[in-house]
């Protein structure tokens, strides 16, 4: 668990915690506990992951890491229909995977309450897109609550479940990174006694064949009208009257930014429930203020609805549609509008926040001193088992379609090994597409030229002696099959169906499963192929090699990615066989306890010719000092991959005990 409960205030005498500093995610977990949730499911995904990790701490709740978000929501829905309160949590893009059950769950409704937490990631701190999931609530016609701090994150879980039961609908609880991963003080409540609603078999409600679904759709529309009426009196939509010169409509963390920047210079209508919106309340507020602004992050979700109501409102004319909303963006907009006094602070440059992922060096300027700073992109750790696999892939010059996980970092220089990254599991389908496109290529002349060029290129490389002698092979054997690169957890999540497609249609691809035995990027969660549950108990371990063989793959090799020769040999063999082939590169994530090898490596100065080939691994444990590569003491994890590629035998192993960190 990332954050232990930090006590702020204990009740005198009893020692019971009454107040605590909690992240939004931790507060949601607490809210689920207090509201009597009995089943909670998720697939890990930033920024939602810690919700289930915290719920796990409570007794009496069935918790699971589901293989993916679709299964998570289906399990939670089943539990709700069966009569216990349930929660499914996911990141924004996870709801795409769960969208199929979501839309029909809106038709069936629930029995006991069902809350779906969607944790969005504006600014893409750790995501492949920044879609605005508020649209999902409107699209699926379900109510949505948006907490604006940790206290509300906790309280709104119970509220959502009450609404869910009262209106017989799933309810979406939508957070963003700055709600999920911000912490604030939370006043704790007492947990509700467990209860179970009776389940009655009711096929017209729960079996969505067309004849039943047509009737349920009518119910959905009627329910939406009832919810709109409910929203008018919903006590958590609040108005703070200050100056009526300016009125602000906002929700979630955007409200907090607006309140901070504008202080008492504006009146505020804060919407806790953003679907459906309370049109009457909004009209009443709008009528009393001179100028009306909507301050919202990402899409003009509220603004467009307000415009459709005929209100004269300003929003995205002033505020960005892309990236995270920031207090400074609001201040600049309000200064431009004359709402706040002051100059628009100097340069636009000064208002571009440094990118935390720091991929874009251009964003890193000092105000008034526009000198770009070196970016600090996230990197694969020293000893990361993915590094060796990517080194070999790059050497083989194959098309490598990527996937979602730490190994997405293989796109960065110097490895630069990936061609695509789309979504969970897409690597395999993408590779099939590349192979299909090549197969449809009807231009033999062009092909011949390309092949000749590639052969010449590879030959030149072989002559240049790239790689250790043992790795040098003839250019003719360079494999041309596209390689799908996917992690173990991601493969289970949504890679299996892609592989079945490759087998079914006999498409020549290689699937390289980087099996590090965990879901590393989100903080080392277990999954079906680790053989350990969310509660830490041993369970059946899904065997990836048995699974891919059962799918019909004939060539299956398991290699240690620390062994470059074996990894390259397996990939070449996989490329040589007809049809789909699978290589499983198996080695524990180096951050897992006990995963670091005992030995360390050093560069022998007398042998090193400073050719810097070792730098092509992009290992943060190797740096250049005075023009020569040096392995940083204390950083080396002992994988030995650099020693294998060194052409001068200049990287030597130091046995454990000889090396003092």
Partner 1 sequence: MSEPSKPIGVRSVLIVGVGGQGILLASRLLASAAIGAGFDVKISEVHGMAQRGGSVVTHVRLGTKVHSPLVEMGTADFVVAFEKLEALRWLPYARPGATVIVNDLEIPPLPVILGAERYPTDIIRRLAAGGRRVVLVDAQGMARSAGNARCANTAIMGMLARRLDLGITEERWQVAVGDVAPPGTAEVNWKAFCLGYTCESYK
Which positions lie near partner 1, rule CB under 8 A? 2-3, 6-8, 21, 23, 46-47, 49-50, 125-126, 149, 177-178, 181-185, 253, 256-257, 259-261, 263, 326-328, 331, 345, 350-351, 353-354, 356-358, 361, 364-367, 369, 371, 373-381, 406, 409, 412-414, 521-523, 615, 618, 620, 622-624
In the complex with partner 1, the residue whose CB is nearer, 611 or 624, is 624
Element (H, E) at 581: strand 581-586
From the CB of 201, what's the least distance to partner 1, in Å?
Answer: 43
Taking each helix axis as running N to C, give the angle between helix 564-576 and helix 385-396, from 0 to 180 degrees, rounded to the nearest 10. Answer: 50
From the CB of 175, what's the least distance to partner 1, in Å?
Answer: 12
CA distance 393 to 449: 23
From the CB of 647, what's the least distance to partner 1, in Å?
Answer: 19
From the CB of 288, what's the least distance to partner 1, in Å?
Answer: 23
In the complex with partner 1, the residue whose CB is nearer, 290 or 661, is 661
From the CB of 133, what's the least distance to partner 1, in Å?
Answer: 17
In the complex with partner 1, the residue whose CB is nearer, 274 or 522, is 522
Determine the 3-state secondary structure of 149 from DSSP: coil
In the complex with partner 1, the residue whose CB is nearer, 432 or 622, is 622
CA distance 367 to 352: 9
Please report the beta strands in 426-564, taking only residues with DSSP state E, as ranges in sequence order.
Answer: 483-487, 510-515, 555-559
From the CB of 21, what's the least distance to partner 1, in Å?
Answer: 6
From the CB of 619, what's the least distance to partner 1, in Å?
Answer: 9
From the CB of 379, what's the least distance to partner 1, in Å?
Answer: 5
In the complex with partner 1, the residue whose CB is nearer, 367 or 592, is 367
From the CB of 274, what's the least distance to partner 1, in Å?
Answer: 19
Task: State the distance between the two ends of the chain, measured CA to CA, in whole angstroms.
Answer: 29
Judged by phi (left if over 0) then psi (alpha if -120 to 50, else beta), residue 612 lies in left
CA distance 331 to 314: 15
From the CB of 535, what's the least distance to partner 1, in Å?
Answer: 22
From the CB of 385, what's the least distance to partner 1, in Å?
Answer: 14
In the complex with partner 1, the residue whose CB is nearer, 282 or 404, is 404
Main-chain dihedrals φ then ψ at residue 578, nearest 5 degrees = -70, 150
Beta strand 39-42 pairing with 62-65: parallel
In the complex with partner 1, the residue whose CB is nearer, 2 or 506, is 2
From the CB of 5, what's the least distance to partner 1, in Å?
Answer: 11
Answer whether 120's CB lies under 8 Å from 174's CB.
yes
Contacts of 546 (CB under 8 A, 6+ apart): none
From the CB of 415, what's the least distance to partner 1, in Å?
Answer: 11
In the complex with partner 1, the residue whose CB is nearer, 82 or 412, is 412
DSSP annotation string for 499-527: HHHHHHTT---EEEEEE-SSBTTTT-B--
Which has the closest alpha carbon to 206: 303, 326, 114, 111?
111
DSSP annotation string for 306-369: HHHTT---BSTTTS-SSS---HHHHHHHHHHTTSS-S---S-GGGGSPPPTT---GGG--BTTB
CA distance 296 to 132: 11
In the complex with partner 1, the residue whose CB is nearer, 508 or 522, is 522
Which has the closest alpha carbon to 566: 589, 586, 591, 551?
586
In the complex with partner 1, the residue whose CB is nearer, 53 or 165, is 53
Main-chain dihedrals φ then ψ at residue 26, nearest 5 degrees = -65, -40
Answer whether 487's CB lies under 8 Å from 405's CB.
yes
CA distance 484 to 500: 14
Answer whether 285's CB lies under 8 Å from 249's CB.
yes
CA distance 51 to 78: 20
In the complex with partner 1, the residue whose CB is nearer, 167 or 255, is 255
In the complex with partner 1, the residue whose CB is nearer, 237 or 508, is 237
Main-chain dihedrals φ then ψ at residue 488, nearest 5 degrees = -65, -45
In the complex with partner 1, the residue whose CB is nearer, 213 or 630, is 630
């Amino acid at each position: 668990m990332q954050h232990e409960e930090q006590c702020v205030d204990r009740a005198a005498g009893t020692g019971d915690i009454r107040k605590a500093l909690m992240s939004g995610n931790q507060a949601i977990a607490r809210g689920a506990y207090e509201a009597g949730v009995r089943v909670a499911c998720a697939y890990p995904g930033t920024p939602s992951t810690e919700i289930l990790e915290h719920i796990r701490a409570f007794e009496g709740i069935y918790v699971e890491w589901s293989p993916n978000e679709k299964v998570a929501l289906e399990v939670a829905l089943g539990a709700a229909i069966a009569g216990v309160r349930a929660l499914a949590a996911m990141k924004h893009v996870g709801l795409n995977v769960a969208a199929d059950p979501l839309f029909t769950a809106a038709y069936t409704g629930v029995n006991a309450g069902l809350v779906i937490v969607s944790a969005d990631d504006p600014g893409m701190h750790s995501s492949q897109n920044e879609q605005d999931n508020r649209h999902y609530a409107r699209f699926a016609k379900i109510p949505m609550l948006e907490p604006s701090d940790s206290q509300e994150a906790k309280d709104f879980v119970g509220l959502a479940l009450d609404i869910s039961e009262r209106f017989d609908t799933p309810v979406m609880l939508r957070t963003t990174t700055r709600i999920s991963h911000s912490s604030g003080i939370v006043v704790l409540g007492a947990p509700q006694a467990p209860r179970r609603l009776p389940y009655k078999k009711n096929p017209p409600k729960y079996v969505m064949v067309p004849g039943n679904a047509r009737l349920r759709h009518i119910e959905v529309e009627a329910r939406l009208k009832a919810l709109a009426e409910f929203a008018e009196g919903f006590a958590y939509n609040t108005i703070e009257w200050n100056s009526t010169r300016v009125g602000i409509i906002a929700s979630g963390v955007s409200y907090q930014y607006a309140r901070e920047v504008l202080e008492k210079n504006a009146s505020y209508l804060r919407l806790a429930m953003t679907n459906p919106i309370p049109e009457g309340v909004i009209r009443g507020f709008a009528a009393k203020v001179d100028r009306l602004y909507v301050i919202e992050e990402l899409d003009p979700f509220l603004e467009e609805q307000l415009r459709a109501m005929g209100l004269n409102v300003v929003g995205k004319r002033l505020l960005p549609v892309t990236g995270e909303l920031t207090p400074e963006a609001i201040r600049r907009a309000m200064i431009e509008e004359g709402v706040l006094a002051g100059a628009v602070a100097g340069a636009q440059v000064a208002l571009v926040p440094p990118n935390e992922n720091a991929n874009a060096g251009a964003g890193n300027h000092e105000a008034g001193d526009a000198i770009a700073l070196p970016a600090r992109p996230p990197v694969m750790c020293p000893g990361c088992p993915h590094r060796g696999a990517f080194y070999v892939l790059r050497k083989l010059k194959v098309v490598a379609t990527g996937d979602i996980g730490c190994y997405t970092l293989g796109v960065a220089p110097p490895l630069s090994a990936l061609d695509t990254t789309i979504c969970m599991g897409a690597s395999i389908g993408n590779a099939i597409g590349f192979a299909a496109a090549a197969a449809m290529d009807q231009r033999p002349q062009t092909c011949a030229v390309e092949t000749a060029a590639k052969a010449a290129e590879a030959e030149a490389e072989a002559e240049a002696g790239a790689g250790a002698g043992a790795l040098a092979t003839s250019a003719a054997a360079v494999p041309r099959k596209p390689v799908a690169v996917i992690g173990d957890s991601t493969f289970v999540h949504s890679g299996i169906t892609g592989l079945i497609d490759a087998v079914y249609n006999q498409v020549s691809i290689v699937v390289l499963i980087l099996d590090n035995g965990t879901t590393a990027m989100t903080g080392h969660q277990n999954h079906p192929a680790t053989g350990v549950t969310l509660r830490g108990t041993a369970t059946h371990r899904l065997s990836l090699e048995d699974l891919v063989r059962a799918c019909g793959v004939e060539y299956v090799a398991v290699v240690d990615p620390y062994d470059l020769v074996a990894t390259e040999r397996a990939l070449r063999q996989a490329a040589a066989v007809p049809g789909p082939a699978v290589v499983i590169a198996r080695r524990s994530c180096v951050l897992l306890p006990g995963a670091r090898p005992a030995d360390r490596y050093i560069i022998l100065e007398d042998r090193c010719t400073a050719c810097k080939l070792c730098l092509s691994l992009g290992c943060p444990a190797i740096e250049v000092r005075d023009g020569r590569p040096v392995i940083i003491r204390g950083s080396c994890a002992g994988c030995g991959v650099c020693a294998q590629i060194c052409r001068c035998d200049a990287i030597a192993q130091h046995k454990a005990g000889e090396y003092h960190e």
